[in-house]
Amino acid sequence: MELNAVQYGETLDNFLMKMEKVSGDDDPDCQAAIQGLGSLLRIALIRVTFYMTPEKESQGIGEECILYRDGAADMQRCYQQREISSSRNVVVYHIYQKADEPDWSRQEKDKLQVLAKMLFVYNGRARITEMAQYLLYYDRELKIYNLTYFRKHTDEMIAKNRIGEFTACHFDLNHFSNVNQQVGMERGNQIMFSFIRRLYELFTNPEEEMVCRVGGDVFIAIFYHRHTDAVKRFLEGTEISIDTSIRTTILITASAGFYTIPPACRNSSDIVDRVTMANSVAKELVTESAVFYNEELLQHINDVTMVQNLFPDALKKEEFLVYYQPKVYLKNYELIGAEALCRWQHKDEIIPPGRFIPILEQSKAICALDFYMLDHVCRDIRKWLDEGRKVVKVSVNLSRCHFGNMNLLRDILDTIDKHHVPHQYIEIELTETTTDVSFKDLKDIVFGLQAHGISTAVDDFGTGYSSLNLVRELPWNMIKIDKSFLETNESAPQQNRVMLKHIIAMSQEMGITSIVEGVETIEHVKMLKENNCFLAQGFCFDRPLPKNIFENRLEQLMA
């Protein structure tokens, strides 16, 4: 049949306009877009077959869909066209004529060819969009979502006001490079994938709960609040099978940061930042593999940055103050010694050591602070002696980070001797250690100080691992029994008391003096006396005192 050129032109324009909005072969708008040309060219059915490659085509392995349908088709009269893309996809179009209509003319067949070509271009473009989306939102190696998808998904949930239903988790597989070394990269990826798949089994709605790869062995997940405990347990350790035939498994553990997202959250970056932050703290901790984000954690992170940035300058400006906490003899309540404890005066704030010492201990910065403290204590003692005051022994804390310093003993002696302080006025407090290497260093330093008439004390005794070996092998002058032994433990009220009694008895038999820390009440004092321990340090007598107030205590000593 003869085509009207003007009518064909207009219909074609219309087709092109509508096709612009079609997103793929299975888009219902595709049918509407073809409608005009379809009726003009008397088409009843367009069937498309998609083959990944020409080889798949020859094997007959492809996907089929109906693009267009309008009335009854004459299955005998079919126009067929095959197209192949630059990436070797093969698309075959079968266009059937309407039943009971005259055959297509030459001119009409030309138009069918144009139509098939155009469908190929448009649907190809839709596939490119799909592919681009895939590259944008998926991790190509593991074939799971990536961080960009996580952001998109959380932004959507925020827009729908549903973000408050979710908890996010940032996690990091522990020692996964060892796994890769052991089984090879490809196997390693399979194990990682199995681990993620198992994690998905904890979820109930994979449309909304998901695990995304940030990179390497780092992931970020989002799930309903009620699955948090299960996810936490899963990440603490899960056996993944390496080889089902010989039933070998491997234990995968992860450090994790969690964030219970509040409904008011308005930004996906906040979520990513907070879980990442919580996980970075979890990685630092030896005791906990999971950390929940809260405002205190934010305070901790801010402290870390502040301490690291301000410490060198603060040390130079002498912003660190020595506070002295009295040690008391319980038979006459006299001052018999003191412990030097550090405080940071920063602007108008007095910052307690718990907020900066653990941070300084992560670098060697703590060593500088310990020597600063020792130096200031010696300076004070020298001054008191020169003023003719009665002086007590002052103990100074030394962090374990000093071990490894070959000159430690020399440095301590030089500092004390620089101020001409008699050695009997100084005691060094050291905490228990866990490793053999530092045990050797500890031993050297305790013997060395002993040889120079400087006393040594084991701090926080009873909280470490190797307490008994430590007292047996080293010549300590003092055991400082940790304050936790004074706690009345509800589940075992007698346990702490029994242990305290025996530690005191043991140290007496070994000829080592003992003192109890954290003595807060008259009850505590009574208990110590009953157990023949007559040295105490704690809030019951005095808190750590600024230097001028401690000087008053020294004054009373003279009276």
Binding site for ligand C2E (CB under 6 A): 325, 341-342, 352-354, 357, 366, 370, 373, 397, 399, 429, 459-460, 483, 517-520, 537-539, 544
Q: Could you please report the per-residue DSSP string of 2-20?
A: PPPHHHHHHHHHHHHHHHT
Evaluate the CA torsion angle 350, 351, 353, 354 in order and state its sign.
Answer: positive
Least distance CB 537 / ligand C2E (angstroms): 6
Site string for Mg ion, 499-538 (x = CB under 5 A): ------------------x---------------------
Least distance CB 433 / Mg ion (angstroms): 15
Partner interacting with residue 373 (select from Mg ion, ligand C2E, none; CB below 5-8 Å by kind): ligand C2E
Partner interacting with residue 124 (select from ligand C2E, Mg ion, none; CB below 5-8 Å by kind): none
Least distance CB 434 / ligand C2E (angstroms): 16
* 462: DSSP letter: T
Put the strands of the sheet holding 144-146 in their side by side order: 138-139, 144-146, 210-215, 218-224, 166-173, 254-260, 290-292
Q: Determine how many CB atoms are found less than 10 A away from the CB of residue 262.
A: 9
Least distance CB 537 / Mg ion (angstroms): 9
- Cα 533 to Cα 296, 325, 370, 471, 514: the distances in Å are 38, 19, 29, 18, 7
Least distance CB 356 / ligand C2E (angstroms): 9
Cβ-based nearer residue to ligand C2E, 258 or 356: 356
Least distance CB 430 / Mg ion (angstroms): 9
Among 16-24, 107-115, 153-161, 428-436, the segment contacting Mg ion (CB under 5 A) = 428-436
Cβ-based nearer residue to ligand C2E, 30 or 366: 366
Question: Does 397 help bind Mg ion (rule: CB under 5 A)?
Answer: yes
In the complex, residue closest to ligand C2E by CB: 538
Least distance CB 518 / ligand C2E (angstroms): 4
The values of phi and psi at residue 295, to 5°, are -65, -30
Residue carrying the six token digits 């430690």: 408
Q: Which of 200, 196, 179, 172 is nearest to 242 (CA)?
A: 179
Cβ-based nearer residue to Mg ion, 255 or 397: 397
Least distance CB 510 / ligand C2E (angstroms): 21
User: 3-state class of 144 per DSSP?
Assistant: strand
Cβ-based nearer residue to Mg ion, 112 or 378: 378
Q: What angle do CA 491, 494, 495 make, to 5 degrees?
A: 80
Question: Does 460 help bind Mg ion (rule: CB under 5 A)?
Answer: yes
Partner interacting with residue 158 (select from Mg ion, ligand C2E, none; CB below 5-8 Å by kind): none
Partner interacting with residue 520 (select from ligand C2E, Mg ion, none; CB below 5-8 Å by kind): ligand C2E
Q: Is 158 exposed, middle or buried (0-12, 13-18, 19+ CB in 10 A)?
A: buried
Cβ-based nearer residue to ligand C2E, 25 or 517: 517
Question: In DSSP terms, which residues pair with 196 in a beta bridge?
Answer: none
The region, left, alpha or beta by phi > 0 then psi within -120 to 50, assigned to residue 100 is: left
The values of phi and psi at residue 406, to 5°, are -65, -25
- Which residues of the chain form contacts with Mg ion (CB under 5 A)? 397, 429, 459-460, 517
